Amino acid sequence: MGNDVGFELVFARQLIARAKPGDIAIAMSTSGSSPDLITALGEARRRRMYTIGFAGYDGGSFATGADVDACFVVRSQSVHRIQEAQALLAYQLWLSVLEQGADADG
């Protein structure tokens, strides 16, 4: 797909094909400034999705842009630490969603 439509659109095109209003879009980037993810977050916003960004360093465009509803910034200069922390944060977010679903069911 990247060779056909350009790599900046590779994630946005998937949202165009599958996303619905109310869905959640999650973007993970070490810098928070990956052009392909910024484009996808803009598409998610146009589709009225809730958007979550995971970023490192100072948060980059994820932290300052209008297309991210919630941004988790790992303030580190180590790529390894950023990615490890993002994995842990994503897992905790998933656990929270599961717990809320269980509370709603019973």
Q: State the DSSP string of 81-100.
A: HHHHHHHHHHHHHHHHHHHH
Which CATH number belongs to the domain containing residue 89 in this structure?
3.40.50.10490
Q: pTM of whole model > 0.85? A: yes
Full pLDDT tens readout for the chain, 106 residues: 555 667 889 999 999 999 999 999 999 999 999 999 999 999 999 999 999 999 999 999 999 999 999 999 999 999 999 999 999 999 999 999 899 887 777 6
Q: State the pLDDT at residue 5.
A: 66
Contact assessment for residue 50 and residue 69, using Cβ atoms and an 8 Å cutoff = yes
Host domain of residue 60: 2-105
State which amino acid sits at residue 11: F
Count: domains in the chain = 1
Residue 31: name the closest of 7, 3, 55, 67 by CA.
55
Output DSSP code: residue 79.
H
